[in-house]
Amino acid sequence: MTEQKIPRATAKRLPIYYRYLKLLLDEGKTKISSVDLAEIVKIDAATIRRDFSCFGALGKRGYGYDVAELIEFFAGELNQDNLASVALIGLGNLGHALLNFKFQKTSNVRVSAVFEVKPELINTIQSGVPVFSMDELEEQIEEQRIDVAMLTVPADAAQTIATRLEASGIKGILNFTPMRLNVSRKVHVQNVDLTNELQTLLYFIDNDISN
């Protein structure tokens, strides 16, 4: 993995490049230009070249990029060889959808523990994953060495649980609640507000705003 600091926007695009490059290799594509890759991933070629330049010389002028070499490189950057265990907090409708999503087919992520307050769900197995009581949150996160949690609880419970997650050693939270969490800079928070994203999309449509 690279030791240099790369822009946050570049880091967010790396999984996109990795996923599409794997698809290209499956289709028998062995080399690709930044222009052709731009057409596929819908990111302009100049941005792709700028992103790739953060990691040194990944391509050759007049040849483009070797697809297999790029996949190998980005797999290392994204730590694809190590399986990351994730906790799912809350097993409502969205929680069930996330639990049933096959993360391991497209990434190095697996949901290894679910935490709930509903007695009828606690101590059951859901989609092959054990469901624990919220009372066991800190103990299980430490025992299973979980670094990341997906938060799908009611908004009024989000901050309390986020505080407990940080105290338990969690390094990252994928926050599906509308609340903006108050945690220290040691914890990375990625907010996923589906309602906001949908409203933004509708606004773009209504006002004919292009990408």
List, as residue ranges, the binding site for NAD(+): 90-95
- What are 150's strand-pairing partners? 88, 174
Pick out the residues of the known binding site: 90-95
Cα 33 from Cα 93, distance rounded (Å): 42
Given a contact cutoff of 8 angstroms between Cβ atoms, the answer to whether 104 and 86 are in contact is no
DSSP string, the chain: ---S---HHHHHHHHHHHHHHHHHHHTT--EE-HHHHHHHHTS-HHHHHHHHHTTS--EETTTEEEHHHHHHHHHHHTTTTSPEEEEEE--SHHHHHHHHS-HHHHSSEEEEEEEE--TTTTT-EETTEEEEEGGGHHHHHHHTT--EEEE-S-HHHHHHHHHHHHHTT--EEEE-SSSPP---TTSEEEE--HHHHHHHHHHHHHTT---
